[in-house]
Structure 1
């Protein structure tokens, strides 16, 4: 089930989480539990990361507004907000090599 869910969420037209749960005949809670146990992320967080990955794969000469539409974002501002939340900088800054300052990682005990 996890593999099927990951494949569905990685598709260009990824389903909404409630629709995916219904298609897999599980509750949203069960789907979250399977994801958390299998990859340590919620389905929604996985989908956000995968969308940003797809943006990076297609980034270059393509306008941001087209990338937003092609990767399932409502508009360019939603793409930028999601990208900044996950990567720490806006997409253009990232592509120009302006990365956020490194921070130390803390492992929970």
Structure 2
């Protein structure tokens, strides 16, 4: 459990800062199309069938499914405990959505106080 808490302590606190790191990495021609990061969030919400998350500073980012990746967004609706959508950490994959011309993040796992809730199988 001590190692798990240490991993969680490395979570980025700012969506803006993590997105900036992702953008700098993804624009490298030799980089992969995904940038994996752990980010703290204030809440995850849904508006008109579009999920997103907001940090403590009020910055937000839309969720999406990265090209070629399994759909993880549908699993957010299936979470047995909605308290996992507030004040936790997210392991996510930043990617650039070509159609919408914006950065998005695909949720991979939610890191709760006691363990990992996998969204990608």
| Fold shared, TM-score > 0.5 on shorter chain | no
The structure, 1 or 2, with the larger RCO (C-alpha pairs under 8 Å, 6+ apart) is 2
Q: Under a length normalisation based on structure 2, what TM-score does the superposition of the two structures give?
A: 0.27
Is the helix fraction higher in 1 or 2?
1
- Larger Rg computed on CA atoms: 1
